[in-house]
Structure 1
Amino acid sequence: MPSIACIPSVPAPGDAAELRERARGALLGLAVGDALGAPAENMKPSEIRARWGRITGFVTDNPSGTDDTEYAIFSGLLLARHGSALTPAHVEAAWHEWIADRAEGPFRGAGFSERGTLENLRRGLAAPISAQHRHAWSDGLAMRAAPFGVFAAGRPAEAARLVAIDGSVSHDGEGIYGGQAVAAGVAAAMAGAPTIAVVASALAVVPDDSWTARSLRRAVAVAHRGERAVRSAVVIGGYPWTDLAPEAVALAFGAYAAADGDFVQAVLTAVNMGRDADTTAAVAGALAGATQGAPAIPTEWATAIGPARGSCLPSMAGHHVLDVAELLVPGEDRKWVTEGLPAIEAPTPRTGTPR
């Protein structure tokens, strides 16, 4: 990949048909990466090799997205409801009505940042105080950030602004920066920006001296040397938690850069690096899916993704990422939902290929 010192600008978004394919690619790519990476979550590359060799496809009989996919659907529906008028009050109300004030699924709210947020909301704390917990630096915002890039195609700064509003309820500091980097990167990719410009767009919306920016720069600088070099550049050896936003986001962008935007290679690189593999592969999949569009996703992977099961967020059960993409894709025919919170209704069941 060329030097970040010579960065082409983000182009104007393409026509409606192209944007639709990129939107579908971004969110389906997120769900595919999530499902591919889930079995390798919290594993070392050596453990992955000992169990499966190199992962080149699904290693379970019934693959599905995890909390990464369900929270991305949640944020996507909320964004489709409010668009650029989104406020922290909207986000907080949605967390209460569709998560905190309902019975949880077997994942019980998902990761540490989500659990901390839910505990604070249930105690009556409001944003941004609700984000003051021990894991506000996690990748929980980054995993749900792609819909903001889809919505703000070609406008990385707007994507970063909106995802920070979403994150104000659950994250702070590096956790916000990680979400902003992902949202901005997807927004640039949605406009057909080359890989180097996607990376530069992510770096442009976070503080230059932040942990997130430093890790991201290290990852892309060695991406040409492959996944082992990327992992060595950013993984915090010996640290027990794998959901650090600066680490996970850098691994995802490193995988994307190493593959030069190729969907299959980006996702498999992220999966085989281990650590928070479902999130890193979900982010890499969103970036590469936006870059190449839905047709770049292998059919056998795409067709394995069905509607969300609600294992983490029961209120999201039945919603498909492709339906969310249709709500968010830019254009005059954008299907705005105009009042209140997203209507959580049973959608028409999908059959056949999601292409």
Structure 2
Amino acid sequence: MSAALLDRIHGCLIGGAIGDAMGAPGEDWHYADIRAAFGHIDRFLPQPARKRDGAPGQITDDTTLRHYMCLAIIRKRGRITPDDYAAVWLSDLNPDRLFVTERIVLEKLRLGMNPWETGRGQPAADAAIMAVAPMGIVNAGDPAQAYQDAVAISSIHQDGLERDAAGVVAAGVAAALVPGATTDGVLAAMTAHGSFDTKRLLRIAADLAAATGDVDAFTEQFYLRHLDRSFPRPADVSWDQDRTVSPTSREVLPIVAGLFALCDGDPRQCIVAGASFGRDADTIATVLGGLSGALRGAGVIPADWVADSEAANRGFFEEVGDAGPPDFHATAVALYDVLHAEQRRIAARAEALGALLAA
């Protein structure tokens, strides 16, 4: 067993879970309000806005969806399609853990809609980008395939830019898992796979990170210059141009890329920067935690964060029950085993192709 690869897979999963839980208390907040109340969020805080008991460290829908994507991969013993992912939604997923846009998808699936098309017409939201890291894991070392698989799997969630941005993040995870990977290399892989739209967003992030050179300055300037104000609001709910949140990849992707660069892919710094950004902070921090954890491994994440995350989410894994692994580390081991099955599949494909070429 490659201890280094397993540590990086675990780092991706646990880093994402930690970022999710650490960012949740600051979700929908303005960064200035977070600074006034907490300074920077560098610890697990109570989550009073959550439906469950709101205890510190508990995951949200971000990690829930990511874990069920892991389950689909583990059950398939390899790369998955939207049909495989949908089967897990229909058999295992707890709708109480979903955001409203995700519950719409679940109802579409229950009605029998094609999982490759349930994302059509969905409001632009970031369900795909927050869930997609396992597509990078199952395609470790192959950013191009990770991008393609992620765009396909994301059709269950969203359409348009949201799918493309999810593919970009999956490509980054696949690149991060390679020995010797660097922050610049991960960002280059993300830039190499995507549309004009995602490349432009990554360019915005790179330029702003270079111009500011600092997480707090980047945060302040992003609020002033690049907020996405497109997400719908009910007619009876007030709207504020600076404080009403748009949980979209058009906003999340450049924030993640800019903070990842400024923190040089260090998980602790990435997670704190994401959790302290405000806006859709749990998604920003979970994507940052997954990318940086894949790059640096679980071994560099503060041990108390890892232990507290595992302890806080025992109830989630008990809810999943015998349908899946009992914790994040066990999930990482199961995904590592899947990579052996992928290796055998690729070897068989290479042998068959060699026979064809020799014929």
TM over 0.5: yes
Which sections of structure 1, spanning at least 5 residues, go unmatched? 1-14, 337-355
Q: Say whether 1:111 aligns with 2:99.
A: yes
Name the structure 2 match of 1:44: 30
Name the structure 2 match of 1:21: 7
SS of the equivalent of 2:315 reads: coil
Q: CA deviation at 1:112?
A: 3.8
Q: CA deviation at 1:78?
A: 0.6
TM-score, with normalisation over the residues of structure 1?
Answer: 0.80
Sequence identity (%) = 31
Which sections of structure 2, spanning at least 5 residues, go unmatched? 47-54, 230-240, 344-359
Looking at structure 2, the residues matched to 335 and 204 of structure 1 have their Cα atoms a distance apart, in angstroms, of 24
Q: Say whether 1:268 aligns with 2:265.
A: no
Looking at structure 2, the residues matched to 308 and 175 of structure 1 have their Cα atoms a distance apart, in angstroms, of 31
SS of the equivalent of 1:133 reads: coil
Q: CA deviation at 1:160?
A: 1.4
Aligned Cα root-mean-square deviation (Å): 2.6
Higher helix share: 2
Between 295-304 and 125-134, the greater mean CA deviation after superposition: 125-134
Count of residue correspondences: 312
Q: CA deviation at 1:147?
A: 1.4
Looking at structure 1, the residues matched to 143 and 90 of structure 2 have their Cα atoms a distance apart, in angstroms, of 29
Looking at structure 2, the residues matched to 332 and 104 of structure 1 have their Cα atoms a distance apart, in angstroms, of 30
Name the structure 1 match of 2:286: 282
Looking at structure 2, the residues matched to 59 and 85 of structure 1 have their Cα atoms a distance apart, in angstroms, of 36
4+ long deviations beyond 3 Å: 307-311, 313-319, 330-336
2:226 to 234, 239, 243: 234
Looking at structure 2, the residues matched to 79 and 56 of structure 1 have their Cα atoms a distance apart, in angstroms, of 32
Name the structure 2 match of 1:153: 140
Between 214-223 and 226-235, the greater mean CA deviation after superposition: 226-235
- Amino acid in structure 1 at the alignment position of 2:292: A
Distance 1:317 1:243, change over 3 A: farther
Name the structure 2 match of 1:5: none
Name the structure 2 match of 1:32: 18
- Amino acid in structure 2 at the alignment position of 1:282: T
SS of the equivalent of 1:329 reads: helix
SS of the equivalent of 2:28 reads: coil
Larger Rg belongs to:
2
SS of the equivalent of 2:113 reads: coil
Q: Say whether 1:125 aligns with 2:113.
A: yes
Q: Pairwise mapping of residues 323-342 of structure 1 onto structure 2 (< 5 A)?
A: 323-329=330-336
Distance 1:165 1:62, change over 3 A: same
SS of the equivalent of 1:305 reads: helix
Name the structure 2 match of 1:184: 171
Contact map agreement 1:270 1:280 (CA 8 A) in 2: yes
Q: CA deviation at 1:164?
A: 2.2
Q: Say whether 1:249 aligns with 2:249.
A: no
Distance 1:134 1:148, change over 3 A: closer
Between 52-61 and 73-82, the greater mean CA deviation after superposition: 52-61
Distance 1:85 1:263, change over 3 A: closer
- Amino acid in structure 1 at the alignment position of 2:331: V
2:87 to 83, 86, 93: 93
CA-to-aligned-CA distance 1:216-237 (integer Å, 9 cap, x gap):
2211222242234253453225
Q: CA deviation at 1:91?
A: 2.2
TM-score, with normalisation over the residues of structure 2?
Answer: 0.79
Q: CA deviation at 1:308?
A: 5.4
SS of the equivalent of 1:171 reads: coil
Looking at structure 2, the residues matched to 202 and 297 of structure 1 have their Cα atoms a distance apart, in angstroms, of 23
Distance 1:92 1:247, change over 3 A: same
